[in-house]
Structure formats: structure tokens, C-alpha cells
């Protein structure tokens, strides 16, 4: 068999895949275009293995099998990402994604918020009474230790681990 026809078909498939990646707006269609490109590469591997006798027999088929495994993993991860994208944005159009804002973890925090991202904002008000051993201004919520590693809040409430009470 002359290898010109499979190489031409592979080049056509790869070109269609590149066109799909560059033009398509839908994330699912982008994944399909990437799959076309991977299948074109598989066709080239198998054709080269059949037409060129290499030192390692069946090397092209082995590479093609490896690419198929990688493509299956890529589709699994890609579809999971697309599903999460749809849940968050209600669209899978890649043009609507704000890439600059989503990259920084501080995107939702206010600039004047001293607590930073991920921490609850304490309500404004005067600090509560302090007990001996607490730091002033802690609002009666500082942890007091009894020396054995057990902690409790200063108000006598049980600690989250249920270890002890304040003395």
C-alpha cells in the first residue's frame, strides 16, 4: 500500500481539527476538534509503522494505543471541567469566560476587608469582657489552655474538639 493516501487523510483530519479549535466557541466542540487532531496523529503513527520498517516492530501501533489512552483521560477530565463550568456559568461558550478575574483567589475580597478571603467578617461592636489570661480586645473568644493540651473558650463553652472547660 502506498502511504500517500493515509498521510493525506491524516493531514486533512488534522487541518479540520485545528480549524475547529480556532473557530469553535463551544467547549464540547473544542474537545471534539482536539480528538480529531489526536486521531490524525494516530493514523500517521500506524501508516508510518506499516510503510517504514523500523528497528522496533509495531512501534507505531504502540504509540497509537498510548495516544488513545491519553485521549480517553483527556476527555474524562475535559468533560468534568465543562460540566463544572456549566454549573457555575450556565453556558459552555469559551468566549464568555473571564480568564483574568478567575485566576486570582482574591477576586471576591473587598480591598478594605482586613480579614482577607475565606475568613468570616466579625460584626462591629465593642469587645466583650476579658478574663484573666486572655488578651485584651479578643471579645471573650480567646482560647485558654489548661496545660494538658486541652482547650476551651473563655466563656466556658466546650471547645470544638470537646476537650475541656475554662478554669
CATH number where 19 lies: 1.10.287.3510
Range of the domain at 64: 4-91
> Binning pLDDT at 50, 70 and 90, where does residue 167 land?
very low
Does 34 reside within a domain?
yes
Instruction: In whole angstroms, give the CA distance from residue 30 to residue 104.
Output: 25
104-155: per-residue pLDDT in tens? 555 555 555 555 555 555 555 565 555 565 555 555 454 555 555 555 555 5
Does 101 reside within a domain?
no
Does 60 reside within a domain?
yes
pLDDT at residue 121 in the model: 56
| Residues in Cβ contact with 12 at an 8 Å cutoff, skipping those fewer than 6 apart | 40
Instruction: In whole angstroms, give the CA distance from residue 56 to residue 33.
Output: 31
Give bridge partners of residue 26 from the DSSP assignment.
93
Does 12 reside within a domain?
yes
Residue with grid cell 478571603, as numbered in its chain: 117
Number of domains in the chain: 1
Does 68 reside within a domain?
yes
pLDDT at residue 122 in the model: 54
Does 131 reside within a domain?
no
Does 76 reside within a domain?
yes
Q: What is the mean pLDDT of residues 14-39?
A: 94
- Residue 25 contacts residue 93 (beta carbons within 8 Å): yes
What are the phi and psi torsion angles at 143 (to 5°)?
A: -85, 135
pLDDT at residue 117 in the model: 53
Burial label for 7, CB within 10 Å (0-12, 13-18, 19+), is middle
- Mean pLDDT, the chain, integer: 76
When mean pLDDT is compared across 36-40, 50-54, 68-72, the lowest value belongs to: 50-54
Does 51 reside within a domain?
yes
**With helix as H, strand as E and coil as C, how does the chain read?**
CCCHHHHHHHHHHHHHHHHHHHHCCEHHHHHHHHHHHHHHHHHHHHHHHHHCCCCCCCHHHHHHHHHHHHHHHHHHHHHHHHHHHHHHHCCCEHHHCCHHHHHCCCCCCCCCCCCCCCCCCCCCCCCCCCCCCCCCCCCCCCEEECCCCCEEECCCCECCCCCCCCC
When mean pLDDT is compared across 32-36, 59-63, 128-132, the lowest value belongs to: 128-132
pTM of the model: 0.56
Amino acid at each position: 500500500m502506498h502511504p500517500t493516501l493515509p498521510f493525506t487523510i491524516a493531514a486533512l483530519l488534522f487541518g479540520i481539527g485545528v480549524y475547529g479549535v480556532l473557530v469553535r466557541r463551544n467547549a464540547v466542540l473544542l474537545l471534539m476538534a482536539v480528538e480529531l487532531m489526536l486521531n490524525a496523529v494516530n493514523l500517521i503513527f500506524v501508516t508510518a509503522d506499516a510503510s517504514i520498517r523500523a528497528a522496533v516492530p509495531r512501534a507505531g501501533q504502540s504509540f497509537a494505543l498510548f495516544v488513545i489512552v491519553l485521549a480517553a483521560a483527556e476527555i474524562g477530565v475535559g468533560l468534568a471541567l465543562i460540566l463544572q463550568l456549566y454549573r457555575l456559568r450556565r453556558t459552555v461558550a469559551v468566549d464568555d469566560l473571564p480568564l483574568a478575574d478567575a485566576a486570582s483567589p482574591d477576586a471576591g475580597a473587598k480591598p478594605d476587608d482586613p480579614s482577607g478571603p475565606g475568613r468570616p467578617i466579625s460584626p462591629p461592636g465593642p469587645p466583650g469582657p476579658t478574663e484573666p489570661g486572655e488578651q485584651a480586645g479578643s471579645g471573650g473568644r480567646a482560647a485558654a489552655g489548661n496545660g494538658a493540651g486541652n482547650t476551651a473558650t473563655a466563656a466556658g463553652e466546650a471547645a470544638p474538639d470537646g476537650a475541656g472547660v475554662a478554669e
